Every structure is written in C-alpha cells, then in structure tokens.
Amino acid sequence: MCLIIFAYRSHPDYRLVLAANRDEFYDRPTQPADFWEDAPDILAGRDLKAGGTWMGITKTGRLAAITNYRETGSTVEGAPSRGDLVKNYLAGNSAPYDYLKTVQDKGQIYNGFNLIIGDEKDLLYYANRDGSIRDVKPGVHGLSNHLLDTPWPKVNKGVRKLHSLMIEKKGFSPEDIFKTLADRSTPLDEELPDTGVGLEWERILSPMFIASNTYGTRCSSILLWKYTDEITFMERTFGRQDGKTGTTLRCQTFRLSL
C-alpha cells in the first residue's frame, strides 16, 4: 500500500472505514482480493512474487495493512518481504500488541514499513523507522510512505475528504470513497516532500491515484466495519498506464465469527 486513509470510531454506524490505494510496478504478479484457498479464514489480495499481502481481514476480525517507508540509499537487497508481516498476523492468533512486540524485536531486518493491525477491540500502529507501538486514537487518519499522519499533500487531501464524508455529512456510499481514491491531481512543486527520488518522481508519486508507464495504482480497496460486526470488503483493480484498462470490482460481505 502507498496510501491509507481511515476513520476510526468516528461514525455512529461504523467502527472503522478504511480506504487504500496499493501502488506497485505493473509487472509484479498479483492475485485480487478473495478468501485464500490455503487459509480460507483470510480475505486479502496476494503478492504472487513473495506470497504475502498488503491488506486483509479475517472472518474473526483480525485486520492488517502495510505501507512502505520511502527512503533512498538504505534499501537492503534480500531483506524479508514486508508483506509477510501482514500475512503472519492474519494467519496467527497473537493479540495485536503482542504481535507488534515480536515485530519490534526484529523490525530492523526489514526495509522501512508502516504497519497497522487490529481486532474488534484495538487498533495499533508501528513503524520500524520510528520504533514505537502506538494506539490509534479515534478520528480520521492518513498514512502514505512516511509516518502516520505525516502531512503530505495527498494524505491531507484524503483525510479532509474522508472527514467530510464521515463526520460532516455522515452519509456516504462506497462510490464516494472510490472517487476520493481516484483523485489524480498533482500538488504544486513547492508542496512536494523531498524523499530523495528526484523532482520528476516526486511529481509522479504525489497524486492519490498514480499512473505512469511502469508503476502505478494497482488496486483501490475499501473496508467497512459496522458496530454490528458486519464487514464489507470492496476492491477495484486497474491495469497499466491509464488506470482504467481491465477495471473490475469485487465485493465480499460477511459477519464476524467472534
């Protein structure tokens, strides 16, 4: 994932509304979100190169999502796949805090990441470039390729738009959220972060929805978690370059088995 915006305990009907764009190279093989054949409790997409995932939820309410931490000059070739951090939590039974403690103990063997995990009681955040485990407070939050709530332009825009839907209007449809995730507007150069990738790539990576010849938004996902423990997971996938070719919409709705 490269953008996650979410409203946590901020709406009278929903414990959590989470919306995310996964940005990746187009030639990296991916399986769309579904219940896994080898782990039928897990609903998630799958990275077919390394076997992990970027976001998912289980029938018992174990939730996890990850973004990379963008940094230059310190990427370690051969480091473990960060997608395993999501997969292993979803497939396990450790409480969220206990799981993050084990991740914290070995976090530096991974390239930079931000990890959000939770269950029906808690929502926690950990970044191995920050090092502390945090409880996520009720409110509307945003995460891209720096720390939680870092005010990058697309994070600010996503938080502002989701806040309007969830708190000011309190009436929304999934299509309203997909429309937010599809925003391709580019900030002014002076508003861009400097993450060491050069101005051209800062521009390419700055919209909420990314499209280029080689890299872009591969899917947009929405998770709706009601206080009644009804879960709806929706995913829209995209093809190369224009972000439209091969667009599909998948939707799963189920009630938690607690």
Q: For the segment 124-144, what is each residue's pLDDT rounded down to a tens digit?
A: 999 999 999 999 999 999 999
* Average pLDDT of the segment spanning 143-170: 92
The tens digit of pLDDT for each residue in 194-244 reads 999 999 999 999 999 999 999 999 999 999 999 999 999 999 999 875 555
The per-residue pLDDT for 167 is 79
CA 111, 114, 120, 121 torsion-angle sign? positive
Strands 55-58 and 133-135: unpaired
- 3-state DSSP assignment of residue 104: helix
- Quick one: pLDDT at residue 170? 64
SS3 content of the chain, % helix, strand, coil (to 5): 20, 35, 45
pLDDT band at 164 (very low <50, low <70, confident <90, very high): very high
Which residue, 246, 198, 249, is CA-closest to 220?
249
Q: What percent of the chain has pLDDT over 70?
A: 96
Instruction: Confirm if 17 and 177 have CB atoms less than 8 A apart.
Output: yes
pLDDT digits (tens, 9 = 90+) for 241-256: 555 555 677 899 999 9
SS (H, E, C) 65-100: EEEECCCCCCCCCCCCCCHHHHHHHHHCCCCHHHHH
Q: How far is CA 197 from CA 21, 56, 71, 142, in A?
A: 20, 29, 8, 22
Domains identified in the chain and CATH numbers: 3-255 (3.60.60.10)
Confidence class of residue 50 from pLDDT cuts 50, 70 and 90?
very high
Give the amino acid at 119.
D
Identify the weakest region by mean pLDDT among 83-97, 169-183, 212-226: 169-183
CA distances to 48, 161, 169, 227 from 166, rounded to whole Å, are 34, 9, 6, 15
| Residue entry with tokens 């009804």 | 230
